[in-house]
Amino acid sequence: MEPVSRIQECINLIYGHKKNRKSIGLVPTMGALHQGHLSLIERSILETDITVVSIFVNPTQFNDQKDLLNYPRNPDGDLATLSMKLRQQDIVFTPDEKEIYPEKDTRIFDFGHLDKTMEGKYRKGHFNGVAQIVSKLLELITPDKAYFGEKDFQQLIIIKHLVKILHYPVEIVPCPIIREEDGLALSSRNQLLSPMERKESALISKTLFTSVLRSRERDVEAVRSWVIETLNSSSMLQVEYFDIVNSTDLKPVKNWNEKGEKIGCIAVKAGKIRLIDNVKFPDF
Ligand code: PAF
């Protein structure tokens, strides 16, 4: 694998590969890599000739400076992990903040309702920051495919929208959530949990999975309230939101027999650590 941090060097490498008609897969990450990231990388390796893994903790998507400071970082461990996973021709792109943002990025994206709900309500400006960095990465790397995890479901929908409004010639590939044995969705933030919080956090996915079974006989609002009450009854967990929405427009679902795929998205605080997860509700 080729580790590069200078933007021009990365562009040159990619230019060479494109001249040789190689297809490019991009896996954007903020580092502290785990099995979830590795599953995106494996998919990219399967589907494209050259995989570019970017590692950049993007400051513009953090609405809370403390969160940015505390965000887990493991540059040496990440490089060691990637050196075992990536092939000789693949690229690890670790740009510098000053090169990525030579000036303040003042672009404001309009995502309509998509960034006003759920995460957007609790993390003001977060998705605008995500759009700023993802648009820069898509423009620099010009990948044929870019891989995003379904754990950040709202992010995935917003990135698909970004690609649509800016006409980027890239296929966005959603990849399934990878879970721990007890069901907790993998996240770089999991390592910040205390042992007790980590144990209790398994209740999040357990409750989500049970809510799918309950949706057979309860209406949407009853299922929604049950999830919130169940999780809040744990002294260690506090639900920020649990919304059951249409998976395309993220509008609230009122009735199970409405058309379209339905997804329940949740944010829960385990102590100081904010965890997100989601579950799809099949039509029975
Ligand atoms: O999902 C993430 O890790 C980040 O939001 C992303 C897409 C790498 C942009 O910084």
**What is the per-residue pLDDT across 2-16, written as a single tens digit (0 to 9) for each?**
999 999 999 999 999
Q: What is the pLDDT of residues 224-246, one digit of tens each?
A: 999 999 999 999 999 999 999 99
Q: What is the pLDDT of residues 138-185, one digit of tens each?
A: 999 999 999 999 999 999 999 999 999 999 999 999 999 999 999 999
Domain boundary (131, 150, 175) is at 175
Q: Whose CA is nearest to atom 1 of ligand 1?
A: 29
Q: Whose CA is nearest to atom 5 of ligand 1?
A: 130
CA distance 4 to 277: 33
Domain boundary (175, 203, 234) is at 175
The answer on 247 and 168 residing in a single domain is: no
Q: Which two tokens stand for residue 153?
A: 């479901």
The answer on 49 and 8 residing in a single domain is: yes
Mean pLDDT computed over 28-44: 98
Residue 208 Cβ < 6 Å to ligand 1: no
Identify the residue whose tokens are 């513009």.
60
Look at the pTM and tell me if it is higher than 0.95: yes
Distance spanning both ends of the chain, measured CA to CA: 47
Mutate to test the pocket of ligand 1, among 34, 55, 58, 162 (most ligand atoms within 8 A of CB): 58
The answer on 158 and 227 residing in a single domain is: no
Q: Where are the alpha helices (DSSP H) in 48-90?
A: 65-70, 75-85
Q: Quick check: is 282 in a domain?
A: no
Distance of CA 251 to the CA centre of its chain: 20
The answer on 35 and 157 residing in a single domain is: yes
Residue 58 Cβ < 6 Å to ligand 1: yes
User: Ligand 1: which atom is nearest the Cα of residue 54?
Assistant: 8
Q: Quick check: is 240 in a domain?
A: yes
The answer on 150 and 47 residing in a single domain is: yes
Residue 103, domain CATH: 3.40.50.620
Mutate to test the pocket of ligand 1, among 37, 97, 147, 152 (most ligand atoms within 8 A of CB): 152
Amino acid type, 87: R
Domain, as residue range, for 233: 188-275
The answer on 117 and 86 residing in a single domain is: yes
> What's the pLDDT score for residue 279?
98
User: Ligand 1: which atom is nearest the Cα of residue 29?
Assistant: 8
The secondary structure of residue 245, as a DSSP letter, is E
Catalytically active residues are 37
Q: How many domains does the chain have?
A: 2
Q: Whose CA is nearest to atom 9 of ligand 1?
A: 130
CA distance 236 to 248: 32
CA distance 265 to 244: 6
Q: Which two tokens stand for residue 202?
A: 């398994």
pLDDT at 284 over 80: no
Domain boundary (143, 175, 207) is at 175
The secondary structure of residue 254, as a DSSP letter, is -
Q: Quick check: is 89 in a domain?
A: yes
CA distance 143 to 24: 5
Q: Quick check: is 281 in a domain?
A: no
Question: In sequence order, what are the residues at sequence separation of 6 or more whose Cβ sits closer than 8 angstroms to the Cβ of residue 236?
Answer: 196, 197, 200, 270, 271
Q: Whose CA is nearest to atom 8 of ligand 1?
A: 29
Q: What is the pLDDT of residues 75-119, one digit of tens each?
A: 999 999 999 999 999 999 999 999 999 999 999 999 999 999 999
Residue 268, domain CATH: 3.30.1300.10
User: Ligand 1: which atom is nearest the Cα of residue 28?
Assistant: 8
Which one, of 45, 30, 27, 31, lies nearest residue 77 by Cα? Answer: 31
The answer on 166 and 70 residing in a single domain is: yes
Buried b (16+ CB within 10 A) or exposed e, 103-140: eebeeebebeebbebbbbeebeebbbbbbbbbbbbbeb
Question: Ligand 1 centre from 130 Cα, in Å?
Answer: 6
Identify the residue whose tokens are 């494209």.
48
Mean pLDDT computed over 187-213: 98
CA distance 246 to 240: 19
Residue 247 Cβ < 6 Å to ligand 1: no
